[in-house]
Amino acid sequence: MQIRMIKHIRKVDGCRGCETAPVTADNPAQLIEKSMASPSVLAMLLTTKYVDGLPLHRFEKSLVVTAIPRQTLAPWHAG
Protein backbone atom coordinates (compact mmCIF):
# COMPACT_ATOMS: atom_id res chain seq x y z
CA MET A 1 0.00 0.00 0.00
CA GLN A 2 1.38 3.39 -0.96
CA ILE A 3 -0.15 6.77 -0.14
CA ARG A 4 0.84 9.99 -1.87
CA MET A 5 -0.46 13.50 -1.36
CA ILE A 6 -1.32 15.26 -4.65
CA LYS A 7 -1.61 19.02 -4.70
CA HIS A 8 -3.66 20.55 -7.54
CA ILE A 9 -2.57 24.03 -8.56
CA ARG A 10 -5.24 26.01 -10.41
CA LYS A 11 -4.14 28.91 -12.56
CA VAL A 12 -5.93 32.25 -12.58
CA ASP A 13 -5.88 34.15 -15.87
CA GLY A 14 -6.86 37.75 -16.24
CA CYS A 15 -6.22 40.84 -18.31
CA ARG A 16 -5.17 44.09 -16.69
CA GLY A 17 -6.54 46.12 -19.60
CA CYS A 18 -9.97 44.44 -19.59
CA GLU A 19 -12.63 45.03 -17.00
CA THR A 20 -13.68 41.39 -16.85
CA ALA A 21 -13.12 39.27 -13.74
CA PRO A 22 -10.16 36.87 -13.64
CA VAL A 23 -10.93 33.31 -14.73
CA THR A 24 -9.88 30.39 -12.50
CA ALA A 25 -9.29 26.91 -13.92
CA ASP A 26 -11.81 24.21 -12.96
CA ASN A 27 -11.13 21.61 -10.27
CA PRO A 28 -10.41 18.08 -11.47
CA ALA A 29 -13.46 15.80 -11.50
CA GLN A 30 -14.12 13.89 -8.24
CA LEU A 31 -16.04 10.67 -7.60
CA ILE A 32 -17.55 11.99 -4.38
CA GLU A 33 -18.44 15.66 -4.61
CA LYS A 34 -16.62 18.01 -2.19
CA SER A 35 -14.35 15.27 -0.83
CA MET A 36 -10.60 14.76 -0.86
CA ALA A 37 -10.93 11.10 -1.86
CA SER A 38 -9.22 10.18 -5.10
CA PRO A 39 -10.28 7.13 -7.11
CA SER A 40 -7.21 5.22 -5.92
CA VAL A 41 -7.95 5.92 -2.22
CA LEU A 42 -11.55 4.75 -2.68
CA ALA A 43 -10.35 1.62 -4.48
CA MET A 44 -7.89 0.91 -1.65
CA LEU A 45 -10.63 1.47 0.96
CA LEU A 46 -13.12 -0.84 -0.75
CA THR A 47 -10.49 -3.53 -1.39
CA THR A 48 -9.24 -3.59 2.20
CA LYS A 49 -12.79 -3.45 3.59
CA TYR A 50 -14.57 -6.02 1.42
CA VAL A 51 -11.82 -8.24 -0.02
CA ASP A 52 -9.37 -8.30 2.89
CA GLY A 53 -12.10 -7.96 5.56
CA LEU A 54 -10.27 -5.17 7.41
CA PRO A 55 -12.51 -3.09 9.72
CA LEU A 56 -12.50 0.69 9.30
CA HIS A 57 -10.75 1.33 12.62
CA ARG A 58 -7.76 -0.80 11.51
CA PHE A 59 -7.73 0.81 8.06
CA GLU A 60 -7.76 4.21 9.78
CA LYS A 61 -4.62 3.24 11.74
CA SER A 62 -2.84 2.27 8.49
CA LEU A 63 -3.37 5.83 7.20
CA VAL A 64 -1.00 7.38 9.74
CA VAL A 65 0.46 9.82 7.20
CA THR A 66 -2.83 11.36 6.09
CA ALA A 67 -4.89 10.90 9.29
CA ILE A 68 -8.32 10.45 7.69
CA PRO A 69 -10.79 9.82 10.54
CA ARG A 70 -13.24 6.92 10.56
CA GLN A 71 -16.17 9.37 10.42
CA THR A 72 -14.92 10.43 6.98
CA LEU A 73 -14.12 6.91 5.73
CA ALA A 74 -17.52 5.42 6.58
CA PRO A 75 -19.63 7.50 4.14
CA TRP A 76 -17.09 6.96 1.36
CA HIS A 77 -17.72 3.21 1.16
CA ALA A 78 -21.45 3.54 1.84
CA GLY A 79 -22.02 6.10 -0.92
Helix (H/G/I), strand (E/B), else coil: 78: helix
Q: How far is CA 13 from CA 21, 60, 63, in A?
A: 9, 39, 37
Helix (H/G/I), strand (E/B), else coil: 8: coil
All structural domains of the chain with their residue ranges:
33-79
List pLDDT tens digits, range 46-79: 888 888 888 888 877 776 656 677 777 778 766 5
Whole-angstrom distance, CA of residue 38 vs CA of residue 6: 9
**pTM given for the model:** 0.52
List pLDDT tens digits, range 11-50: 888 887 887 888 888 877 778 777 777 788 888 888 888 8
